[in-house]
Amino acid sequence: MPDIPSQPEINIGATGHVDHGKTTLVEGLTGVWTSAHSEELRRGITIKVGYADVAFYKCESCPPPGNYFIVSKCPNCKNEAKLLRVVSFVDAPGHESLMANTLSGASLMDGSLLVIAANEKVPQPQTREHLIALQMLGMKHIVIAQNKIDLIDDEQALSTYKNINSLLKNTVAEKSPIIPISAQHKINIDSVIESIEKYIPTPKRDLTANPLMHVLRSFDVNKPGLDINAINGGVVGGSILKGKLKVGDEVEFRPGILDISGSNYNSINTKILTIATSAGLVDEASPGGLIALGTSLDPSITKSDSLLGCVIGKVNELPEIYNSINLEYDLFDSAIGSEGLLKVDQITKNENLRINSGTAISVGKTSLIKNGSVTIDLKRPICAEPNSKVAISRRIGGRWRLIGSGSLK
């Protein structure tokens, strides 16, 4: 894989039905097989999520789309190419049982590649689910990859293309480009890069705001039997949404960890000792890409993703912690992930629901329903900004199924 010259500027999700080639496409774009392992960051820090970073370049002497690639020298004319930007791809699970993981990853996405196989009926279940999830989360910048064109003839490719257009009608992706590709054989990968550059812009970032980072992973990097004097502090991985974090910053985690009674959550403070990105160790980090923070926390606090869903920022500058949330909500016509198109019934009082807020997952019981709003008393509190999006799931057939979305009041 080519070197990464800097921290990524943008997070792009690879979404779609299981086995439609998301991971293969990400490998074609980056050289990294995200399902096998994550990129290893220096000093033994590894973020084990499906992601990979890459730098996009453009040769200004050659015609498109063959002038877009991931190396610094043009493969065609051998001239030095222009660095466009560094991109981080987040590979979202395609299986319906992993929808909560998909939503956690999607909360960090600035745009999406929706991968649809050209040799299967359109839409497949998770294609529809991921499209609805992207729309629910307010995703506006989407590129469609019509994959596996090497397995079909021109007539079937055109038929699938028309079916994809029908699927996208009246959705957030209605005007998205549809690029025919073979991820396996790296056909039209240059066209995918060109479309990403045209249709998925880098968001405007507020670097002067109080920093806000969502935790997607937390872990202990120490090996068993390590001498006590050589033990490293706990590590957390995730993505900054706004502001900057620097080595030496005193930061707070909300909602934090359970107290000794096991009934209340307390925020925790720590110091940032190291910051690692795919470009290596840095002194400060800003929004874009996934980063790993080495901290002074006892590693027993961070092991096994125990801080997943926390929010990190300056001490006493983070959003409110909610033990109970009030949502203005909308329900889907049918439950996501259910067999067939199972109609979604109205939410009822004392019903148990699961909510996804940012990277946080919690379960709660409804206590008040009135005029399109619902109050949910949570078992695990969340830290969230007002008006932020929340995904709502209901237990159907032994599994949590996505039934709607809400906005935090």
299-314 pLDDT, tens digit per residue, is 999 999 999 999 999 9
Least confident of 72-86, 132-146, 210-224: 132-146
DSSP result, 298-367: -HHHHGGGTTTT-EEEETT-SPPEEEEEEEEEEEEEEEETSSS-PBPPPP-TT-EEEEEETTEEEEEEEE
- Cis check: omega of the bond before 287, within 30 degrees of 0: no
User: What pLDDT score does 137 carry?
Assistant: 77
User: What pLDDT score does 340 carry?
Assistant: 64
* 366-401 burial code (b ≥16 CB/10 A, e <16): beebeeeebbbebeebbbbeeeebbbbbbebeeebb
Q: Establish how many alpha carbons lie within 13 A of residue 11's alpha carbon, considering only the half-sphere containing its beta carbon.
A: 25
Going from the N-terminus, what domains does the chain have, and what CATH number goes with each?
A: 10-199 (3.40.50.300), 212-314 (2.40.30.10), 321-408 (2.40.30.10)
**Residue 100 above 70 pLDDT?**
no
Q: What is the pLDDT of residues 330-359, one digit of tens each?
A: 998 888 766 567 889 999 999 999 998 988
User: What pLDDT score does 21 carry?
Assistant: 78
Q: Which tokens is 168 given?
A: 């996208």
- Cis check: omega of the bond before 65, within 30 degrees of 0: yes
Residues 276, 7: Cα–Cα separation, whole Å: 9
- Strands (DSSP E) found in 133-243: 142-147, 178-180, 212-219, 235-242
Nearest Cα residue to 26 out of 93, 122, 104, 90:
90
Contacts of 244 (CB under 8 A, 6+ apart): 207, 211, 284, 285, 286
Q: Summarize the confidence of residues 121-132 as an average pLDDT.
A: 81
Q: What is the pLDDT of residues 193-222, one digit of tens each?
A: 999 999 999 999 999 999 999 998 898 999
User: What pLDDT score does 131 carry?
Assistant: 87
